[in-house]
Amino acid sequence: GENVEQHPSTLSVQEGDSAVIKCTYSDSASNYFPWYKQELGKGPQLIIDIRSNVGEKKDQRIAVTLNKTAKHFSLHITETQPEDSAVYFCAASKVSGTYKYIFGTGTRLKVLA
């Protein structure tokens, strides 16, 4: 079945350093890739997304890259801050029908002050 693998499961970085989280998807028909941030005790919230007709998208300190051939996509956070500490989930979806997401298993990011 459809699957999204996410690595690493935990990531610790020093404040100001960069963080990279990687995902691989199995369904080549997937064409929409969102990233969600979940803070403790809250529901996930969209932080950035990318469609398959774009290779890279940037929003201030966060960026997402997509390699369709390899079926890889990555989240890049630069100049990390303590408030970036959270669990991050990637997902893959198809832009048709019901827009069901297949989520990765999550990455717990800790930014050390």
Partner 1 sequence: NAGVTQTPKFQVLKTGQSMTLQCAQDMNHNSMYWYRQDPGMGLRLIYYSASEGTTDKGEVPNGYNVSRLNKREFSLRLESAAPSQTSVYFCASRPYGGSTTTGVGFSYNEQFFGPGTRLTVL
Smallest gap, in angstroms, from Cβ of residue 94 to partner 1? 10
**Residues forming the site for partner 1 (CB under 8 A):** 6, 9, 32, 34, 36, 41-46, 49, 89, 93, 95-101, 103-106
Q: What are phi and psi of 65, to 5 degrees?
A: -120, 150
Smaller CB separation from partner 1, 77 or 89 = 89
CB closer to partner 1 out of 3 and 18: 3
